């Protein structure tokens, strides 16, 4: 059985790991975006080109401005750690 101190350390480790895993689409480099499973050079290029017009406000904005990113792709990219303004994709938020 884990001691209270071990539980605290385990919880802290999980939080640090989760935050280190996330990749913000508005600040990610080309190489970072290419490293996301599901994004290749062409989709990364479309993301960077759309981002030149300004930061993405939310997932709905991201999906509207980047050709080929629909709800299913957004869900997969979010599961791989991609975030928009720090938020994971939530299909119930109306971003479809």
The single residue listed with the structure tokens 């791989």 is: 80
Burial 52-74 (b: 16+ CB within 10 A, else e): eeeebebbbbbbebbeebeeebb
Residues with Cβ < 8 Å from 54, sequence gap 6 or more? none
- Given this model, what pLDDT does residue 94 score? 53
Q: What is the pTM of this model?
A: 0.76
Q: Token digits for 72? A: 């299913």
The CA–CA distances, whole Å, from 63 to 2, 79, 89 equal 44, 16, 11
- Given this model, what pLDDT does residue 15 score? 43
- Per DSSP, the three-state class of 70 is coil
Per-residue pLDDT band for 26 (boundaries 50, 70, 90) equals very high
Question: Are 23 and 53 contacting, i.e. CB atoms less than 8 angstroms apart?
Answer: no
Write the pLDDT tens digit of every residue in 34-88. 999 999 999 999 999 999 999 999 999 999 999 999 999 999 999 999 999 999 9
- Given this model, what pLDDT does residue 92 score? 84
């Amino acid at each position: 059985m884990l001691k209270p101190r071990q539980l605290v350390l385990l919880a802290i480790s999980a939080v640090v790991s989760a935050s280190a895993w996330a990749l913000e689409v508005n600040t990610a480099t080309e190489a970072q975006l290419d490293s996301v499973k599901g994004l290749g050079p062409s989709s990364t290029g479309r993301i960077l080109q759309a981002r030149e017009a300004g930061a993405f406000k939310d997932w709905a904005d991201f999906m509207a401005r980047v050709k080929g990113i629909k709800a299913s792709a957004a869900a997969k990219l979010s599961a791989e750690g991609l975030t928009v303004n720090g938020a994971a994709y939530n299909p119930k938020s109306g971003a479809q």
